[in-house]
Amino acid sequence: VVVMEISEFQRLMRNKLSDKDRQMGSAFLMNVLMEEVGELSRAIRKKTRTRVAEEIADVIFSTISIANLFDIQIEPILKRKYIDRPLSEISQRWTDVTWR
Ligand SMILES: [Mg+2]
């Protein structure tokens, strides 16, 4: 089993794609992300697990491209927002939306 940290994945993507990402620009990369989110949504509706897995990978890939374009290291932010905080704090905003 090959394990890769998010920071390592992001670094490899930056080496491979940062020139292309800069050429494409943030608006284009955002469109790609939205397209991939749409594909994930369709895969979830069809309940096809392998398709869902592929599209989750595409969404992460597209998101990391945007992070790299803005020179953002996402791993420490993920840790701060979702590992270091209690569940009640993480779900606070979702609960608000549900009860509105
Ligand atoms: Mg896709």
Helix (H) or strand (E) holding 77: helix 74-78
Residues 24-80 pLDDT 10s = 999 999 999 999 999 999 999 999 999 999 999 999 999 999 999 999 999 999 999
The answer to whether the beta carbons of residues 79 and 87 sit under 8 Å apart is: no
**If you search the block for the tokens 């996402």, which residue do you land on?**
74
Centre of ligand 1 to C-alpha 43, Å, is: 10
For residue 92, the model assigns a pLDDT of 75
For residue 98, the model assigns a pLDDT of 58
Predicted confidence band at 100 (pLDDT cuts at 50, 70, 90)? very low
Centre of ligand 1 to C-alpha 39, Å, is: 6
Q: Is the pLDDT of residue 13 over 50?
A: yes
The answer to whether the beta carbons of residues 62 and 33 sit under 8 Å apart is: yes
CA atoms within 13 A on the CB side of 91: 6
pTM exceeds 0.95: no
Q: Rounded to whole angstroms, how far apart are CA atoms 20 and 24?
A: 6
